[in-house]
Amino acid sequence: MAPTLIFAPDGRIMAFGSPGGSTIITTVWGIATHLIDFQQGMARAIAAPRLSQRNNGIAQVDQGFEKTATARELVALGHQLEPVAEMGANGRIVNPDGTNDCSS
């Protein structure tokens, strides 16, 4: 499940992980990117569309992602997309004052 902890300089603790076998690493990486690089809250980072490609030529994508402009651009470049029902994840941010930002 790749439980992941991030200790932010502002005192927040971010904890998240994902079930899913072969999609775990790309899911956890995607959540971390949305939290750190895009400064999103946990719920938004987990809700962001995900894709996972494991060197077999077909990228699994969250259902609905295949209809986005980004997906159309990827297909135009020759990528194959396979929608899957869900790439699950969960997480929580604990703020220094004890309040939480949860994914559920």
Q: Which tens digit of pLDDT belongs to each residue from 20-52? A: 788 888 889 999 999 999 999 999 999 888 888
CB 57 within 8 A of CB 51: no
- Which residue ranges make up each domain of the chain? 1-50+88-104, 52-86
pTM of the model: 0.81
- Mean pLDDT (whole number) for 6-25: 90
Report the pLDDT averaged over residues 50-75.
Answer: 88
Looking at the domain 1-50+88-104, which fold is it? Glutamine Phosphoribosylpyrophosphate, subunit 1, domain 1 (3.60.20)
Question: What per-residue confidence (pLDDT) applies to 82?
Answer: 92
Phi, psi for residue 24 in degrees, rounded to 5:
-60, -50
Q: What's the mean per-residue pLDDT of the chain?
A: 89
